[in-house]
Amino acid sequence: MAAALMHETLQRAAHRFGDRDALRSGDEHWSFRDLDALSNAFARHLAARGVGTGDRVALMTANRMEFIVAVYATSRLGAAAVLVSPAWKLTEVRHALELTEPVHAVADAAASPLLSECLGSNGVTDLDDRSVDPFAHSRTDAVAGGVRGEDEAVLVFSSGTTGLPKAVRHTHDSIGLATDHWCTVLGLGHDDRFQVATPPSHILGLLNLLAAVSAGATVRLHRRFDLDEVLHRITSERMTLEMAVAPIALALANHPSLEDHDLSSLRYIMWGATPVSESVADVVTKRTGVRWLPAYGASEVPVIAANPVGRPEAWRLDSAGLPPVGVELRVADLESGEVLPAGEIGEIQVLSGSVMAGYLPDAASADAFADGWYRTGDVGWLEPEGWVHLTDRAKEMIKVNGFQVAPAEVEAVLLRHPAVLDCAVFGVEDERAGEVPAAAVALDPSLPVAGGELRALVADSLATYKRLHYLVVVDTIPRLPSGKVLRRTLREDWPASLLSAQSDD
């Protein structure tokens, strides 16, 4: 049976769960019925601004009620939501909008000027502009947009080796199936309560919100991550599960008074976006008694594997887990593409109805599939029983707190400086973030420049998580005869002391 259309999931939740709390933020709360009514009014607001079937609407906000309402409102009209990171700056925002061509945008005050510069002030709904009320329209007269399961529902962004972010296109069918998978692997039900502090533009943040509505669970939204507030809410609201990425896990492990908080209501803490650091996970479990549920996904296939939630005795930290029903995994040789048997190392590939419809630009989709299987670019192996192990990445992405940073994107910024003759950006291991960007640069000796100036250039041009943590001046950049940068050489052969001496931390 096909998954429900995205907005239909909210309508069903409103009918089934009614006045139960769906969202909490600060001292405010909204029921499932509230969200459904608000999304209907917001849909009418968007329609009045020219949004219709087949259009796209850019969303660039922090974690707030209006974000999820706007997602469902866009769906009601038969349009697709384009999720733009609130951390992005003008260069990144302009590229995203040129790629997806939205007819309107929704933003909070921090992001509105950037979107207005690209779309004009009349093309942006500023959620913090008190002169505009996007909920002033009817909340009861249902909006219908003639939507089909194969229509676009949402676009998220994933960086590629070209250096510029690609738009990942999900249909109602694919994101709906992914939502079902996430509900299943989390064991999510209407008695669950959990918190979302990850950005809503990231696939994990979006999926958590969609799954909560589908299951009837209650979500507390946080505009920004504050560990003490998160711990307080676990205790005071008896949260049943918690979401974590590497820096959150490390913050938990290092919290000086972690034992003073009652976390006994938690069934588990889900670890996603980056591989599990077993030492960190063990410390948290020893201090709290709460165990971890590792999971693995991607923007292109949101749920690839997870530890079996119904069998806690089988949970393990050395594997991302097993694929959910409806998801198949295989491993292919990195050179020949030949499918390999269990135990052999190669590229992880995925077959699922939850896979993306493709990328924008369209040409980027050509190398993303092999005989219908999505090529993750992750290197690993499978046990005979299907447990997946990740060992490396074939792609050259630097993964910072679960966000992908394309080396070529940062290199393009560095090369704008007249003193930079050549450069290469690569990842350096970091306990808190998983990896952080580092750069090797070859400079024109006649144009002296300080490393701080180059780091500032990147910081001023790109999102904060893409900033350079290390910069080293070299005579030449190691390359193959084809011109390809030997990033592995940069990561493995350079002394760590040389890098640490150049840290800006």
Shortest CA distance to 288 belongs to which of 306, 264, 318?
A: 264
Q: Are 320 and 390 in contact (CB under 8 A)?
A: yes
Two tokens at 416?
A: 């704008």
pLDDT at 251: 84
pLDDT at 278: 82
pLDDT at 143: 75
Q: Are 86 and 62 in contact (CB under 8 A)?
A: yes
Two tokens at 262?
A: 């009652």
Report the SS3 class of residue 275.
Answer: coil
Q: Give the span between the Cα atoms of 132 and 42, in whole angstroms.
A: 12
Q: Give the span between the Cα atoms of 255 and 247, in whole angstroms.
A: 12
φ, ψ (nearest 5 deg) of residue 345: -90, 135
pLDDT at 158: 85
Q: Give the span between the Cα atoms of 366 and 378, in whole angstroms.
A: 18
Shortest CA distance to 342 belongs to which of 382, 388, 392?
A: 382
End-to-end CA distance of the chain: 52
Count the residues in the chain. Answer: 505
Q: Give the span between the Cα atoms of 419 and 444, in whole angstroms.
A: 5
CATH number of the domain at 320-393, please? 2.30.38.10
Spell out the residues 6+ positions from residue 231 whose beta carbon is closer than 8 angstroms to its own: 255, 258, 261, 263
All residue ranges of the chain with pLDDT < 70 are 1-2, 142, 145, 159-163, 392-395, 480-484, 493-505
Q: State the pairing for strand pair 241-244/193-196.
A: unpaired
Q: How far is CA 385 from CA 307, 341, 388, in A?
A: 13, 12, 9
Q: Are 467 and 414 in contact (CB under 8 A)?
A: no
* Model pTM score: 0.84
pLDDT at 481: 53
Report the SS3 class of residue 68.
Answer: helix
Q: Where are the domains positioned within the chain?
A: 6-173, 320-393, 398-500
Give residue-wise pLDDT tens across range 253-299: 889 999 999 999 999 999 987 777 787 889 999 999 999 999 999 99
pLDDT at 273: 72
Shortest CA distance to 7 belongs to which of 81, 71, 80, 82?
A: 71
Spell out the residues 6+ positions from residue 193 whose beta carbon is closer than 8 angstroms to its own: 217, 218, 219, 220, 237, 238, 239, 240
Shortest CA distance to 302 belongs to which of 458, 173, 490?
A: 173
pLDDT at 161: 47
φ, ψ (nearest 5 deg) of residue 4: -70, 155
CATH topology of domain 6-173: Rossmann fold (3.40.50)
Q: Is the dihedral of CA 252, 230, 70, 208 positive or negative?
A: positive
Q: Give the span between the Cα atoms of 474 and 490, in whole angstroms.
A: 11
Amino acid at 462: L
Give residue-wise pLDDT tens across range 475-502: 888 876 556 677 777 877 665 545 544 5
Q: Give the span between the Cα atoms of 25 and 28, in whole angstroms.
A: 5
Q: Give the span between the Cα atoms of 269 and 272, in whole angstroms.
A: 10
Spell out the residues 6+ positions from residue 384 whose beta carbon is closer than 8 angstroms to its own: 342, 343
CATH second-level architecture of 398-500? 2-Layer Sandwich (3.30)
